[in-house]
Structure 1
């Protein structure tokens, strides 16, 4: 069933794709090396040229065709979609996880970490962080949340810049919702200090700026941690 679902996504991407949109998408999501910093490139990706709407429609159709998808079905399908180095397939995996985030568990952070490590693109890393990891962390029970926090704290200290970016961006939903008044704020401060201690990197600095902006809007009187 999982392979059938992945094959259906492939059919949609092939049907809805075109070469000029593929070129435009490649130009839009490509990651040039920041000046003065080593480039961590993603694996060479192919682009089908299917629109974001087509990708979302394919995942919506999967939900209608297979209404009884279990947690294991969802995570296996996400991994199968991610396996091929095709941008739209990987985007479909992200959309699938977004749509089923209520089913995810703290143990799924290992899979998400693997996706982030091999993504190398803001267009894939950012939704994995803010729309999957962040909401997943917020809905966990205290015991499971403790184990998950250990994992995401480790991301913040990892040499992989995209994993450090994801660690910080995963905090943005919580900061937007409750600012420094939320019980998760100490965890945010801990991760911010970890990535800052690691050193300056424009890819990670963008994530820090996103938290700064969210804090300024939600808790304007609270100084940003240093």
Structure 2
């Protein structure tokens, strides 16, 4: 794992409590997810601190770090991946929808699907030029017919967010 990934993971573990982990497990659910017990504020602060510690990350480094964080089925790591993408959505490209689709297939819980759809995918599509936006909307249309609940839910949320466009 990259130095930035190790920093994020270690910080999230240091910011955790077993009481919060247990409470989050009951609140969020998620078969197969592990919970460190770090708060949403701690996740956001960790990504902010990672940005200060590792300034100037480019598109490829951001997407690689998001994949590193997502690789383990740990709720806070996956939430940190979402916050990272949210923070750097201006760097994302239409081609990143493939990676995000994989995240949606593995998310398993609305607490990860919803912010990924509304805070990453919708702003990404909104920022695309017209031609690329049309292709991205075709991808969202395909997600709406997928057998997996994650992509279907995300497609519904993205379409709702983009209705005024």
Matched, 1:6 2:20: no
Matched, 1:101 2:100: no
- Equivalent position to 2:64, from 53, 73, 76: 76
Q: State the SS of the aligned residue for 1:171.
A: helix
**TM-score, normalization by structure 1:** 0.71
Q: How many angstroms does 1:113 deviate by?
A: 0.3
Q: State the SS of the aligned residue for 1:170.
A: helix
How many residues end up aligned between the 2 structures?
165
- In structure 2, what is the equivalent of residue 15 of structure 1? 14
- Given that 1:130 and 1:172 are in contact with CA atoms closer than 8 Å, whether structure 2 keeps it comes out as no
Q: Can you list the C-alpha shifts for 1:73-109, whole angstroms capped at 9, x where unaligned?
A: 0000000000011110000000001111111000000
Structure 1 Cα separation of the partners of residues 81 and 89 of structure 2: 12
What value does the CA root-mean-square deviation take over the aligned residues? 1.2
Q: How many angstroms does 1:172 deviate by?
A: 2.8
Q: How many angstroms does 1:30 deviate by?
A: 1.1
Q: State the SS of the aligned residue for 2:21.
A: helix
Q: State the SS of the aligned residue for 1:159.
A: coil
Structure 1 Cα separation of the partners of residues 149 and 56 of structure 2: 37
Matched, 1:167 2:155: yes
- In structure 2, what is the equivalent of residue 60 of structure 1? 48
Q: How many angstroms does 1:165 deviate by?
A: 0.7
Q: How many angstroms does 1:171 deviate by?
A: 2.2
- In structure 2, what is the equivalent of residue 146 of structure 1? 134
- In structure 2, what is the equivalent of residue 29 of structure 1? 28
Structure 1 Cα separation of the partners of residues 10 and 95 of structure 2: 31
- In structure 1, what is the equivalent of residue 125 of structure 2? 137
Structure 1 Cα separation of the partners of residues 33 and 29 of structure 2: 10
**TM-score, normalization by structure 2:** 0.96
- Large movers: runs of 4+ above 2 Å: 171-175
- Given that 1:48 and 1:86 are in contact with CA atoms closer than 8 Å, whether structure 2 keeps it comes out as yes
Q: How many angstroms does 1:67 deviate by?
A: 1.7
Structure 1 Cα separation of the partners of residues 130 and 108 of structure 2: 31
1:77-92 mapped onto 2 (5 Å cutoff): 77-92=65-80
Structure 2 Cα separation of the partners of residues 150 and 137 of structure 1: 11
Structure 2 Cα separation of the partners of residues 174 and 113 of structure 1: 18
- In structure 2, what is the equivalent of residue 156 of structure 1? 144
Matched, 1:111 2:111: no
- Given that 1:134 and 1:172 are in contact with CA atoms closer than 8 Å, whether structure 2 keeps it comes out as no
Structure 2 gaps, min length 5: none
